[in-house]
Amino acid sequence: MQEFSQLLRGRRSVRAYTDQPVDRDTVAEILRLARTAPSGANLQPGHFHVLTGAPLADLTRALQAEIGAGTPETSEYSYFPDPMPPVLKQRQRAAGYALYQALGIARRDIVGRQQQFLRNYGFFGAPVGMVVTIDRAMGKGCFMDLGMSLMALFLAAEARGLGATGIGALANYGPQVHRLLDLPAGQLVVCGVALGHADPDAPENRLRTERAGLDEYASFRGF
């Protein structure tokens, strides 16, 4: 139990990687473990399109070209609440400020912030990138099931000494990713995942975001 607690508390979003490769067998086993997550009626929603080497580099270059050409963002599903409640906006800003501070990017350095955000579309330099999709016909609850599968994936990676992070920003250019990878028409791009060996010297990898206190999100009755 202590080891599991340490695994959960040790996991973090890794935004800088070494160039050390990750072999296919390791990625395959991580995905098998991710699929052990529970899902309603055992529907097991979600697909993982895994890229490395030239295919990953090609996708990164193509996305950067799209963004550089001024291609507008397209939101095919609602990620954040709109409008964002003040308490959640405060959490969002605190996490962003902490990241930029760790990287030495000033609050008014708009260019620096934009360049850092663009690293999402390069999978933060990870040797393995995944595009996560879900069948468009699935209900909203299936997104929850896919989220549990993603958490299992992150923990499986952590247990193997690997780093990972989800990349929600990839969905901003979901139609472009869909076209570039020639994905089936019925699949919706949900997010990306970066996977690899964390760069121990990168300041952003030492960042720890705060979690809300128990009394903010839990209530107990009958104890």
Rg (CA), the chain: 18
Angle value at C-alpha 54, between 52 and 56, nearest 5 degrees = 45
Nearest alpha carbon to residue 131 among 172, 181, 65: 181
Please tell me the predicted confidence (pLDDT) of residue 100. Answer: 92
Give the amino acid at 206: R
**Closest Cα to residue 127, out of 32, 17, 211, 37?**
17
- pLDDT tens per residue across span 150-207: 999 999 999 999 999 999 999 999 999 999 999 999 999 999 999 999 999 999 999 9
Return the pLDDT at 107: 86
- In whole angstroms, what is the distance from residue 79 CA to residue 76 CA? 9
Find out whether 176 and 84 touch, Cβ atoms under 8 Å. Answer: no
* Tens digits of residue pLDDT in 158-170: 999 999 999 999 9
Residue 187 forms beta bridges with which residues? 135
Percentage above 70 pLDDT, the chain:
100
Q: Is the pLDDT of residue 213 over 90?
A: yes
Question: Six-digit token pair at 196?
Answer: 């690899």
Q: What pLDDT, in 10s, does the model give residues 2-56?
A: 799 999 999 999 999 999 999 999 999 999 999 999 999 999 999 999 999 999 9
Predicted TM-score (pTM) of this structure: 0.95
User: How many other CB atoms sit within 10 Å of the CB of residue 135?
Assistant: 14
Neighbours of 86 (CB within 10 A): 8
User: How far is residue 40's CA from residue 143's CA, in Å, rounded to a whole number?
Assistant: 11
CATH architecture observed for domain 14-79+121-205: 3-Layer(aba) Sandwich (3.40)
- What is the distance between the alpha carbons of residues 27 and 156, in angstroms, rounded to a whole number? 10
* CB within 8 Å of 136: residues ≥ 6 apart: 186, 187, 188
* Residue 84's pLDDT band (cuts 50, 70, 90): very high
Distance between start and end Cα atoms, the chain? 23
Mean pLDDT within 87-103: 93
pLDDT tier for residue 212 given thresholds of 50, 70 and 90: very high
Q: Where are the domains of the chain?
A: 14-79+121-205
Q: What is the mean pLDDT of the chain?
A: 95
